[in-house]
Amino acid sequence: MTRLPFELLLALRYLRPKRTFVSFITLISIVGVTLGVAVLIVVIAVMSGFDKEWHDRILGFNAHMRIEKVDGSPISDYSVVIAKIRENTHVIGVSPYIEDQALVETQPRFEEPQAVAPLVRGIDPETEGEISNLPQSIVSGAMDLSDEGVLVGVGFAGRLGIQVGDRLAVYSRRELRVLREARGKENPEIPIPDDYIVRGIFNVDFAEYNHMWLFTSIESAQVMNDWDDEVQGLAVKLDDLHITFEVKAELQEKLGEEFVLTPWQIQHNEIFNALQTEKNMIRYLLFFIVLVAAFGITSSLITFVVQKTREIGALRSMGASSIQVLSIFLIQCVIVGAFGVSIGFGMGMLALRYRNEFLTFLNNTLNTQLLPPSIYQVSELPALILPSDVISICGFSLLICLISGIIPALIAARLKPVEALRHD
């Protein structure tokens, strides 16, 4: 201990626990910093976990980029366009699609039929696995779209009571238009809806897709839209989802201005921007816990300066400089902050390690579901610990603690030796 610089030696001596009001305030400050850091680490890791889960599920169901005609017209020579796209070294999958909305009516044997208007996507079963996880998400039946076969989600099937092998009557947008135009005419021609068979039920772990999507073959979708060998667009998957804008520029130059390319960042910007904004707001709000603890450090040091005024005067009279006195109090702030941040880091890591066990305990104790899977799309509490988040939280918290001691340290450093020795 005697070899330590006297500034550090005095700072450690003044921080020794004593049964005084200043020691109590210091303890409260350490607890505040600890709780602030622990809560921030846990909440930000959970938010990052949700962000990753939703990225994986949304981009697992959807491609990284969509390519369509600028004027919205169908692509007739899409095989040639696909060949040009595959020439890019970053492209690992391309698949054509046709998307539209249709009216679907069940055909039960004894019950009343039910109707719903899902989004219908015509796909190529041979290449769909290159751009999405749909083939691996079949939980009942098979990935069979031949002979008017369709795939429905588990939510869609559960809501309408559909099983594999059931039949669905599908009214396309074209048929609904003919029905609307036939209203009021004498002897109108009423179109008969296409009859489809449910060949498979999928579960992509995302309620919106499981409830509102129906898949059929490209050929069936072309019949629904009264198209020839044409498609609405092309779905593209890349080897790195973070380089979509670079690849977009390369493909745009090769395909020409008649095509519009939409990366996933633009297609799903609302939901991902909302997640990032929510994460940032929670980060800023929870930092106020650390700020409150910093005010406790400031108040304890100011009180300590008042109590130790005569000792400070003695130090100055023995030759201690203002910088040395300033260093004593700043070192105290760093020690208090480092102690609180270290304990908070450990508590945060421990809480993340046993987060799901604690969630199960709360669910059983409160007899409720704190994380409903139907709302949050997850069965367990996700978490992703990013080193950048942990470093920024701990570093900024330590910086706040250091800043909180500047005013008391300046007050102590500016004390005149004579005035300080006369202090009562």
DSSP letter string, 159-174: HHT--TT-EEEEE-HH
Rounded Cα distance, 305 and 410, in Å: 10
Residues 113 and 249 in one domain: yes
Same domain, 259 and 110: yes
Mean pLDDT of the chain: 81
pLDDT in tens, 93-150: 999 999 988 888 887 766 777 888 889 999 999 999 999 999 999 999 899 898 889 9
Is the Cα torsion angle 122, 105, 268, 137 positive or negative in sign? negative
- Regarding whether 260 and 114 lie in a shared domain, the answer is yes
pLDDT over threshold 80, residue 20: no
- For residues 78 and 213, membership in a common domain is answered with yes
Whether the predicted pLDDT of 234 surpasses 90:
yes
1 within a domain of the structure (yes/no): no
How many domains, in total, are found in the chain?
A: 2
Angle in degrees, 0-180, between the axes of helices 322-353 and 269-307, rounded to the nearest 10: 140
How high is the pLDDT of residue 4?
58
For helices 21-61 and 269-307, the axis angle rounded to 10 degrees is 170
Distance CA 184, CA 182 (A): 6
C-alpha closest to that of 216 among 332, 355, 346, 119: 119
Query: Largest Cα–Cα distance of the chain, in whole Å?
Result: 113
Q: CB–CB of 345/39 below 8 Å?
A: no
Do 308 and 397 fall into the same domain? Answer: yes
In a domain, 97, yes or no: yes
Report the range out of 85-94, 112-121, 349-358, 400-409 with the highest average pLDDT. 85-94
Looking at residue 57, its pLDDT comes to 84
Domain C-terminal end among 222, 248, 264: 264
The percentage of the chain sitting over the pLDDT mark of 90, rounded to a whole number, equals 21
Q: In this structure, how many other beta carbons lie within 10 angstroms of the beta carbon of residue 340?
A: 26
The domain boundary, picked from 248, 264, 280, lies at 264
The string of pLDDT tens digits covering residues 65-102 is: 999 999 888 998 889 999 999 999 999 999 999 998 88
The residue range of the domain holding 102 is 64-264
Which domain-ending residue is among 214, 235, 264?
264
Distance separating alpha carbons of residues 192 and 279, to the nearest angstrom: 51
Is 100 or 380 the better-scoring residue by pLDDT?
100
What is the per-residue pLDDT for 1? 45
Tell me the C-alpha distance between 142 and 173, whole Å.
27
Provide the angle, in degrees to the nearest 10, between the axes of the packed helices 21-61 and 387-404.
Answer: 150
**237 and 124 both lie in a single domain:** yes
Partners of 100 in the β-ladder: 120
Residue 380 has pLDDT above 70, yes or no: yes
